Amino acid sequence: MNKKNLGNGVFCLSDPRAPDYHPDSPDIQRKEPLGTPMRQIWKPFRALYFASLMMLIGSGLLSTYLALRLAADHVDSLWVGALMAANYFGLVLGGKIGHRLIGRVGHIRAYATCAGIVGAAVLGHGLINWLPAWIVLRMIVGLGMMCQYMVIESWLNEQAEAKQRGAVFSGYMIASYLGLVLGQLILVMHPELGLELLMLVALCFALCLVPVAMTRRIHPAPLHPAPMEPRFFIKRVPQSLSTVLGAGLIVGSFYGLAPLYASQQGLTTEQVGLFMGSCIFAGLLVQWPLGWLSDRYDRALLIRCFALCLAVAALPLAIMTHVPLEVLFIAGFLCSLVQFCLYPLAVAFSNDHVEGDRRVSLTAMLLVTYGVGASVGPLLAGVVMKLFGSHMLYAFFSLCALILVWRIRPKAVTNLHQVDDAPLHHVAMPDSMSSSPLVACLDPRVDEQVVQDQMQNPVPDPEPDAEPEVIDEQPSVEDPPAHPDPDEHPHDLSRARP
C-alpha cells in the first residue's frame, strides 16, 4: 500500500495494483481507468473530433456544391479551378497569420471569430453571383478554416499524453476523412442545388463552434509554427518535396474539378456525390495497408511504383471521352487508392533523412509545398480541361504521375543523412490541407521536447550583424548624463530605458 497525498494535510492509503485515472477528468465520480485505451482516447477528445468532423463535412460539401453549381450554369472549368485554388491559397495564408490572431485574442475567441467569418462567407455565395467575389469568399473560407485547425490541434496537443499522440493523431485523421465523405453523401440525400445546401454548410460551421465554446478547460499553451528552412530541405530531401508538390497538384485538382468532370460525363447530382464519396473513402481505406508496406519496403521505390500505378489507372479515364458508369466508378476508386498514398509516403521518406530537432520545421515546409501545388494544380487542370475537354483532368493526373516516376530515383538516394532509427514507423496522414503546421505537435515521430522548445518557447531570431554597431553609437544607460539637472523631473519614469 502506498501513501497518497490528497491535499490539506490529508493522506490515504492506495493499492498500487488499482488502476490510475486521468488527471484532467472534470468529474471525480466519472473518472476512467487508464486500462481502457479506446475510451481513454475517445472520451477526452470527442468534442474536438466532433468539431473537426463538422468542419470537414461543411468544407467537403461546399467544394462539390460550388463545382456542380457552376457546371449547371455552364461556367468554364477555369473558374471552377480558380475557386479551389483560392481556397488552398487561403489555407496557406492562414497557416502564416493564424497564430498571430490566436496570440492576440486567445484560442476560444480566435476560433469563434473564424467560424463566424467562415459561416458568413459561405452564405455570401448565395447573395452574390459575381464570380470574382466568389474567389475572394473562397479564400476567406480557407483562411478561417486554417485558423480553426490551429486551435483544434493546439488543444489536442495540450490534452494528449506522450504515449497517446499516435492514437490521437489517427483519430484526427479518421474524423477528417469521414467528414469529407459525409459531406459528399449529403448530395445523395439532397440533390437539388439550391441555397439550402449553402445553409447546411453554414449550419455545420455553426455547430463546430459548440464544443469549443462550451469547454471548461483553460486555454492551451500557444503554439508557434517553426521557421522554415527551404534551402536546407531542398538540398536534403529534394525527392520528398517533389512528391509532395506532385501530390498537391493532383489532389487539389481532384477536389476542385472531379465533380465537374463527373457532371460532364452525364452523372446526376446523386451519382456525383457517390462518386466523390467513394473516391475519398478509398483514401481512408488505403492508409492501413500503406503503413504495412511503408514499414517493410524502400519508400522511394514505393513512391515510384505508386506513381506508375496512378499513371496507368488514370489512362482509361484520360483516353475515353464518354466512360461507362461502372468503369468510371472502378477507375476513379483505383486512382484515389493510389493518389492518396503519395503524400504520406513522402512525409515518411523525408522524416527518415532529417534529424529530430528539424522535423517541426520539416512539417511546415511540407505543408507549404503541398499548398503551393494544390493552389496551382486546379488552375493548370482547369485550363487543360477548357481547351481539350473534361477527360483531360485524368490526363493531367497521369502526366503528373509520370513526372514523379521520372523524378523519383531510388538509386540516387545516398542515405548519407539517414537517421539512426530509420526507417521510422509509418504514420497514417490526413489530406495535408485538412491540418495546419501545428499538426507536428501530434506526430509521434517528432520528439515532445522538441515541440516544447520550438513551438511553445520559440528561440528568438539572431540579432543582425550590424546591431552591435548601432548600440555602440548610443550612450550607455549606466553612464551618467553629461549635464544633470536636479530640477528636471527627478521621479519621471517615462524616460527610463527598458
Structure confidence at residue 410 as a pLDDT band (50, 70, 90): confident
The rounded distance, in Å, linking the Cα atoms of 185 and 187 is: 5
Q: Residue 28 pLDDT > 50, yes or no?
A: no
Cβ-proximal residues to 99 (8 Å cutoff; 6+ apart), any chain: 150, 222, 223, 224, 225, 438
- pLDDT score of 498: 38
Scanning the structure block, which residue is given the C-alpha cell 492501413? 288
Q: Residue 483 pLDDT > 50, yes or no?
A: no
The rounded distance, in Å, linking the Cα atoms of 120 and 102 is: 20
The rounded distance, in Å, linking the Cα atoms of 477 and 472 is: 11
Least confident of 146-150, 156-160, 278-282: 156-160
- pLDDT score of 41: 60
- The residue with greater pLDDT, 12 or 296, is 296
Q: Which of 307, 314, 317 is nearest to 335 (CA)?
A: 314
Q: Residue 182 pLDDT > 90, yes or no?
A: yes
Give pLDDT tens digits for 254-289. 999 999 999 999 999 999 999 999 999 999 999 888
Q: In sequence order, what DSSP letters do the residues of 328-388 get, joined into one string?
A: HHHHHHHHHHHHTTHHHHHHHHHHTTS-GGGHHHHHHHHHHHHHHHHHHHHHHHHHHHHHH
Q: Which of 466, 2, 74 is nearest to 264 (CA)?
A: 74
- pLDDT score of 476: 37
In this structure, how many other beta carbons lie within 10 angstroms of the beta carbon of residue 481? 8
- The residue with greater pLDDT, 225 or 366, is 366
Cβ-proximal residues to 417 (8 Å cutoff; 6+ apart), any chain: 236, 353, 354
Strand-pairing partners, residue 3, are 13
- pLDDT score of 444: 62
Strand-pairing partners, residue 4, are 12
- pLDDT score of 392: 94
Q: Could you give phi then psi for residue 11, rounded to 5 degrees?
A: -125, 150
Sequence length of the chain is 498
Q: What is the mean pLDDT of residues 132-141?
A: 95
| Mean pLDDT over the full length of the chain | 79
Residue 172 CA, chain-centre distance (Å), reads 10
Strand-pairing partners, residue 12, are 4
**Alpha helices (H) in 106-237, listed in sequence order:** 107-127, 131-159, 165-189, 195-207, 209-213, 230-236
Q: Residue 490 pLDDT > 70, yes or no?
A: no
CB of 481 closer than 8 Å to CB of 496: no
- Report the half-sphere exposure of 364 (CA within 13 A, side-chain side): 21
C-alpha distances in angstroms, 462 versus 185, 456, 458, 466? Answer: 51, 18, 12, 11
Residue 282 CA, chain-centre distance (Å), reads 19
Q: Which of 302, 282, 300 is nearest to 292 (CA)?
A: 302
Least confident of 60-69, 163-172, 235-244: 163-172
C-alpha distances in angstroms, 39 versus 16, 19, 159, 167, 227? Answer: 22, 14, 14, 12, 36
Q: Could you give phi then psi for residue 209, rounded to 5 degrees?
A: -75, -30
Cα three-residue angle 224-175-88, rounded to 5 degrees: 55
| Cell of residue 70, nine digits | 457552376
- Look up the pTM and report it: 0.79
- pLDDT score of 170: 80
Give pLDDT tens digits for 275-284. 999 999 999 9
Per residue, the 3-state secondary structure of 388-417, as one string, reads HCCCHHHHHHHHHHHHHHHHCCHHHCCCCC
Q: Residue 40 pLDDT > 90, yes or no?
A: no
Q: What is the mean pLDDT of residues 305-318?
A: 95
The rounded distance, in Å, linking the Cα atoms of 154 and 220 is: 6
Measured distance between the N- and C-terminal CA atoms of the chain, rounded to whole angstroms: 55
The rounded distance, in Å, linking the Cα atoms of 47 and 38 is: 15
Q: Which of 365, 358, 350, 359 is nearest to 442 (CA)?
A: 359
- The residue with greater pLDDT, 80 or 151, is 80
**Which of the residue ranges 134-148, 282-296, 434-448 has the most confident prediction, judged by mean pLDDT?**
134-148
Structure confidence at residue 121 as a pLDDT band (50, 70, 90): very high
Query: Could you give the domains of the chain?
Result: 41-214+226-411+434-456 (1.20.1250.20)
Q: Is the Cα dihedral 72, 77, 78, 80 positive or negative? A: positive
Structure confidence at residue 358 as a pLDDT band (50, 70, 90): confident
Q: Residue 49 pLDDT > 80, yes or no?
A: yes
The rounded distance, in Å, linking the Cα atoms of 266 and 275 is: 12
Q: Residue 465 pLDDT > 50, yes or no?
A: no
Cβ-proximal residues to 234 (8 Å cutoff; 6+ apart), any chain: 241
- pLDDT score of 464: 41
CB of 265 closer than 8 Å to CB of 328: yes
- pLDDT score of 432: 58
- The residue with greater pLDDT, 365 or 42, is 365
C-alpha distances in angstroms, 192 versus 25, 69, 119? Answer: 45, 10, 21
- pLDDT score of 23: 39
| Cell of residue 167, nine digits | 492514437
